[in-house]
């Protein structure tokens, strides 16, 4: 049974989608008529609700994909096609402690918080207060704010916390902060970057030479959707192609050495 405060996806007869909170006091006004959001709590996912014009809307439990795509945004978001690969490359799972720099509207932050679980923690550094506030608002809507520590802080100051299991950087000039990034992640653990242009990628790769970063990878992910109509099966007319370049590496901080060999930690 759907409970008050649950997020529900409502789908119109023509496939338009709305993400709303069940039990809210207001109504949803659509071209098909008004929907009473309080009455959703009498139903379950997979059932239907009717507008005052007797149009039928289907109720679904929103997936993580849909939560990310529907967040309120003031910036370009990191798309689910990129987020999935980021989560795998950074090995994000229950109990992980991850730092991100540049949360923007919070699409990646939401996914990180989802996967670290109750035992993990996401530390999000954002120097612009309007973006930090929007990210917090989006996380609060989906009940994940308690897993995230949002700090209005510039990466130039360092991370100001114990070394993280993984770090992801979404900043315009990440090469300016390589020392802080390397110091903020555990030795041998992964870091990731997102950059929109080739010029930025080459600048980052040049700066990473002869530093603490190794095992470097650059990747671009493209997803092509198809029309699910058996008699007219073909690609969609439009696709989300380039959204950014993903750069991954691992941090290697060799132990200090003396004449007799490595110094034990």
**41 located within any domain:** yes
**264 located within any domain:** no
Mean pLDDT for the stretch of residues 105-131: 97
Are residues 37 and 96 located together in one domain of the fold? no
Are residues 131 and 37 located together in one domain of the fold? no
**pLDDT for the residue 1:** 87
Residue range 230-254, pLDDT digits in tens: 999 999 999 888 999 999 999 998 8
Give the contacts of 151 (CB within 8 A, at least 6 positions apart). 123, 124, 125, 126, 132, 160
Give the contacts of 40 (CB within 8 A, at least 6 positions apart). 2, 8, 20, 22, 23, 49, 59
Are residues 31 and 73 located together in one domain of the fold? no
**pLDDT for the residue 260:** 59
CA-closest candidate to residue 102, choices 196, 207, 213: 196
Are residues 213 and 96 located together in one domain of the fold? yes
Which band of pLDDT confidence, cut at 50, 70 and 90, is reported for residue 24? confident
CA distance linking residue 130 with residue 136, whole number of Å: 10
**pLDDT for the residue 54:** 93
**pLDDT for the residue 262:** 60
CA distance linking residue 265 with residue 262, whole number of Å: 9
Are residues 47 and 89 located together in one domain of the fold? no
Round the average pLDDT of the chain to a whole number and report it.
Answer: 93
Total domains in the chain come to: 2
- H helices of 59-210, in order, are 64-69, 80-89, 107-116, 129-141, 178-183, 198-208
The CA distances from residue 144 to 49, 141, 148, 178, 261, in Å, are 28, 8, 7, 29, 47
What residues make up the domain containing 41? 7-62
- For residue 194, is pLDDT > 90? yes
The CATH number of whichever domain residue 14 belongs to comes to 3.10.330.20
- For residue 257, is pLDDT > 70? no
């Amino acid at each position: 049974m759907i409970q008050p405060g649950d997020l529900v996806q409502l789908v119109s007869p023509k496939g338009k989608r709305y993400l709303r909170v069940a039990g809210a006091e207001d109504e949803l006004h659509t071209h098909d008529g008004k929907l009473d959001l309080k009455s959703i709590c009498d139903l379950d996912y997979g059932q239907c609700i009717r507008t005052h014009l007797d149009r039928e809307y289907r109720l679904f439990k929103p997936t993580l994909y849909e939560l990310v795509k529907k967040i309120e945004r003031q910036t370009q978001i990191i798309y689910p096609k990129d987020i999935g690969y980021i989560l795998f490359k950074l090995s994000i799972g229950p109990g992980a402690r991850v730092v991100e720099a540049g949360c923007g509207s919070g699409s990646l932050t939401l996914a990180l918080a989802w996967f670290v679980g109750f035992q993990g923690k996401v530390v999000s550094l954002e120097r612009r207060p309007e973006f930090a506030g929007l990210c917090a608002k989006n996380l609060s809507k989906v009940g994940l704010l308690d897993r995230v520590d949002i700090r209005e802080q510039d990466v130039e100051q360092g991370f100001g916390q114990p070394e993280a299991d993984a770090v992801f950087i979404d900043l315009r000039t990440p090469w300016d902060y390589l020392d802080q990034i390397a110091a903020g992640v555990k030795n041998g653990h992964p870091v990731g970057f997102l950059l929109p242009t080739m010029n930025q990628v080459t600048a980052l790769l040049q700066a990473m030479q002869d530093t603490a970063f190794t095992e470097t990878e650059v990747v671009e992910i493209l997803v092509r959707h198809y029309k699910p109509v058996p008699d007219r099966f073909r690609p969609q007319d439009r696709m989300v192609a380039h959204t950014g370049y993903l750069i991954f590496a691992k941090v290697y901080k060799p132990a200090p050495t003396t004449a007799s060999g490595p110094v034990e930690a």
